[in-house]
Amino acid sequence: MTGTRERYERYVAERHRPAHGRRTAGRWAAFLLPHLRPEMRLLDLGCGPGSITVGLGTRAIGADLHPVRIDGVPVVGADARALPFPAGVFDAIFANALLQHVADALAVLREARRVARPGAVIGVGDVDWDGHLLHPRHPLLERGRQIREAVRERADVRVGRRLRGLLAAAGFEGVEVGVTGEAAGTSRAVAAMADFEREWFEAPEVIAHVTVLGISGAEEMAAIAAAWRRWSADPAACAATLWFTALAWAPPDRPPHEGGHPPLPQRLSATGGIDDVECPLDQGP
């Protein structure tokens, strides 16, 4: 990893953490909540700061490539494509805003299928950048979108529309896809959104990274930041974002278990930087 890439990734993680930390289960997991019960073992893949995880009302465990401590929820440092869990141990799986960050979304869902017990429910939420509507449009803002997409490299920012096919390909069934949406349609929301976008194009960490990647340069980035300022000042400015949700189930390929859950290791040590957190999955809710 180059120095510019590290600095860029640290900048992005710090910039997004406060917004992710304000997410709630009521807003982001509403489609999954009716299918959850308190006794369920739930795995939250790519749990981030865990503000959704804590509201799922289950025996949740978080897994994240860059784990942070979540009060009341064990967190394991793990790549979602290679989880440190035996097969068939989770009653429910949740993954919000994870697949847009991984190069191989199907590998993540296949791994989710492996650790899902027969009949387990999975809920996935993710974005589709073609569902980002901006008015008025401007070539510089369109170019900014291209740059932001190019920086994601092999991750698919249109994964939302693929969720139905991906879940089926991973071995889940009964897939139900839905969408939710958000609008920036007040002066305050338009300004907040434009500021958030503009800051990315002005950040030295981003400018250095896109320059090293050969995607853009300081002059173009400054022009795009200025276009966001103009957009924000336009009294007609308005934006909307579509968010895909998908529910599916692991096939009930054997009768529902009667004698409790398949055995899990007594304690799973977390890795990836949280050495003192353990995951007491089998020690009751």
Ligand X SMILES: C[S@@+](CC[C@H](N)C(=O)[O-])C[C@H]1O[C@@H](n2cnc3c(N)ncnc32)[C@H](O)[C@@H]1O
- Which positions lie near ligand X, rule CB under 6 A? 20, 23, 28, 46-48, 52, 64-66, 79-81, 96-98, 101-102
DSSP letters spanning 106-145: HHHHHHHHHHEEEEEEEEEEEEEEEEEEEES--HHHHHHH
**Residues 81 and 61 sit within 8 Å (Cβ to Cβ):** no
In the complex with ligand X, the residue whose CB is nearer, 36 or 237, is: 36
Closest CA to 235 of 135, 106, 123: 135
- Looking at the Cβ atoms of 124 and 194, the one nearer to ligand X is 124
- Shortest Cβ 156–ligand X spacing (Å): 13
Using the 8-state DSSP alphabet, how is residue 73 labeled?
Answer: B
- For residue 98, the minimal CB distance to ligand X (Å) is 5
- Please, what is the Cα angle at 87 between 29 and 51, to 5 degrees? 25
Q: Which is nearer to ligand X, 52 or 190 (CB)?
A: 52
The first and second tokens of residue 40, run together, are: 């369920």
Cβ 248 to ligand X, closest distance in Å?
18
- What does the alpha-carbon distance between residue 193 and residue 149 come to, in Å, rounded to a whole number? 17
Residue least distant from ligand X (Cβ) = 48
Q: How far apart are CA 16 and CA 200, in angstroms?
A: 11
CB nearer to ligand X: give 1 or 236.
1
Q: Which is nearer to ligand X, 102 or 194 (CB)?
A: 102
Identify the CA nearest to 130 among candidates 223, 14, 257, 242: 242
Cβ at position 63, least distance to ligand X in Å = 6
Nearest approach, Cβ of residue 19 and ligand X (Å) = 8
Tell me the closest approach of the beta carbon of residue 17 to ligand X, in angstroms.
9
Q: Which is nearer to ligand X, 231 or 243 (CB)?
A: 243
* Cα distance between residue 8 and residue 204, in whole Å: 9
Q: Looking at beta carbons only, is 65 or 191 nearer to ligand X?
A: 65
Dihedral pair phi/psi, residue 50, rounded to 5°: 85, 15
Q: How far is the CB of 39 from ligand X (least distance, A)?
A: 23
Cis-peptide into 136, omega within 30 deg: yes
